[in-house]
Chains A and B, each alone.
Chain A
Amino acid sequence: MNNEQEKVGYGITVFRPGTPRGAKIRGIIFFTIFCVIIVVQSCYWLFANSLRPFVLGMPFGMFFIVLFITAEFAALVILYLLESKNMEEKGDVL
């Protein structure tokens, strides 16, 4: 326990001590993906501040936002599936 405390220290601790390298990389990748999605949605007007073409009945700007919502949902599903294996290993016991 004391060793673990020493490991944690006072610096920024993004991952719990003992987190496998693969899980860390996955975390960083998905964190980046979601940051990009948030920035793109916030600044959608940089890419799609126009009416045409109309897609699925929506002006292009609205469609663009819906498209990124779908992308976000897909990313969340993939992240969940990747992490659910780990949750099963831990028996989902908290």
Chain B
Amino acid sequence: MTWILILIIICIYLFFVLFLGSWAGRGRESSIVEYIAASRGLGFVVMYFLMGGAIFSAFAYLGGPGWAYSKGAAAFYILGYCALGLVPWWLWGPRALKAGKKFQYVTQAQLFSDRFQSKVLSLIIAVVSVLAFIQYITLQMKGCAYVFEIASEGRIPFWAGALVAYVVVLIYVFYAGVRGVAWTNVFQGAFMVITAWVLGLYLAYDLYGGPSEMFRQIAQANPTHLLVGPGTKMSFAAFASALLVSVLGFSMWPHLFMKAYTAKSERVLKQTIVFYPTFAIFLVPVLFIGFAGIMQVKPDELGAADRILPWMFSHMQFPPIAVGLILAAALAAAMSTQDTITHAAGSIFAQDFVEVLKREKHSDREATLWVRISVICFGAVSYLVAIFGGQTLVALLLGAYGSIVQLLPLAAATFFWPRATKIGAICGILTGVLYNYAIVLEFIPKFWDIHAGIQGLVLNFIVLIVVSLLTKPMDRAHIHKFVTL
């Protein structure tokens, strides 16, 4: 009967999120700027949680403890990139915000394709973004499915758990757009942070008498688990390049980059960046949960390492209400990322792909409808990938980062290098993305355990610079409006 009570709590949580998300969009006009950019009017608290919800994802909340459990010190890279991920946004976030207001952009590709006067670039960015998004949404759906599977003691199959989360997210994203995403993230973010701290510390104290003793026991049982380098689960080069690609790529994720268009002002945007590292501190006890599991369950018994968080709480003799709340928090982590990506994927496909291919522009109402239809389709495709895919959570995300970080040279060139040309930009991004996928798909070997995305990025920059210098500069007056933002 315990599992029924746990599921009831999870259902109450889901209904509340559904209500909040739908309520947020009540009475709002049906326009593209409202649906994608919340009429460019979000304040600090909402922006903070909207951006935080994206990082407090299944990757961090389920994958993080999973890495702490299975790979030890390699998980520290998650703290580093969570803290640093938004710092590069200080350089282009405010500029993107100004460009959005001035030229009415609502997506990242609109900015880059306008700067480089290229529809082809818009199509490439849309395809790259959507491919990465599918992997990312899949990641969140798998996280949701794990939660349901463990909460119901295996009675709710993987496919059904993922489906429930997909449908709930779909309803409020479809109806309320980014405003629904933002307000649900405020609730989910606060909920996750509180549960992470309370439970991470509780487990360390309850099972071991404190974090120091917990780490001492882990070090005694496995002396290399809390280290990186030769003989551990992650090499020096892999750690450094994984963190670097994540930091450089984080603010390039289109669903985060385009949030610059939703902020009310530059002040709000910079406040969000200032307080963003606090989310990394919130993640410390989340890793404690994974470390605490090392002496409690053997990997063979657990199955996938990503299941450690739900496993811990369903096997620790907690009252069902507490277990329900904890699992709801894990669900919140996955859903708060799933919703923002689903929303962004739909927006990008409709605005940067369909709209670009159309000869006549859609009306505002038609364009919004296209976004909504795209939201449904991408959720469905990702759902199928989640059900039939086989990789673990973190490995999936790292693969996606490799292609998204290839957008970095475009941002740098847009705002800081007027000499960059259309052909240079297209050749650069194609080189970077194709090289990254060639390594990921093992067509070519990885160089010295350095992340494929970083290798692709170096090539991308070189090609962008060389080809730009070999081609005719773009119109000075046109370029001027981007570097003086």
Contact = CB atoms under 8 A, between A and B. Distances in A.
A62 B101 CA distance: 42
A11 interface: yes
Interface in B430-485: 473, 476-477, 479-480, 483-485
Interface stretch (B21-29, B123-131, B141-149, B237-245): B237-245
Interface string B242-283: 011001000000000000000001110011011001101100
A76 B280 CA distance: 14
Given A44-B76, A57-B211, A65-B76, A14 B284 contact: no
Interface in A55-90: 56-59, 61-62, 65-66, 68-70, 72-73, 76-77, 79-80, 83-84, 87
A50 interface: yes
Q: Is the interface of A mostly helix, strand, loop or mixed?
A: helix
Contact of A51 (B98, B215, B419, B483): B215
Interface residues of A, number: 45
Contacts of A37: 84
Given A9-B418, A13-B416, A94 B101 contact: yes
A40 to B, nearest CB: 9
B227 interface: yes
13 contacts: A5-B476, A38-B84, A41-B84, A44-B76, A44-B80, A45-B236, A51-B219, A61-B228, A65-B76, A66-B79, A72-B84, A73-B277, A92-B265
B149 to A, nearest CB: 30
Which range contains the number of B residues in contact with the other chain? 35 or more
Contacts of B267: 84, 87, 92
B266 A34 contact: no
Given A37-B84, A62-B284, A72-B87, 7 more contacts: A8-B418, A12-B417, A13-B418, A49-B229, A62-B76, A72-B84, A73-B277
Interface of B: 73, 76, 79-80, 83-84, 87, 90, 97-98, 101, 204, 210-212, 215-216, 219, 226-229, 236, 239-241, 243-244, 247, 265-267, 270-271, 273-274, 277-278, 280-281, 284, 287, 416-419, 473, 476-477, 479-480, 483-485
> Which of B226, B236, B281 neighbours the largest number of chain A CB atoms within 10 Å of its CB?
B226
B418 A17 contact: no
A68 B81 CA distance: 12
Nearest to B273: A76
A69 B73 contact: no
> Which of B76, B267, B270, B284 neighbours the largest number of chain A CB atoms within 10 Å of its CB?
B76
B473 A10 contact: yes
Contacts of B227: 45, 49-51, 61
A83 B73 CA distance: 36
Contacts of B228: 45, 49, 61
A23 interface: no
Contacts of B281: 66, 69-70
Contacts of B480: 4-5, 8
Contacts of B483: 8, 13, 16
B90 to A, nearest CB: 8
A69 to B, nearest CB: 4
A76 B419 contact: no
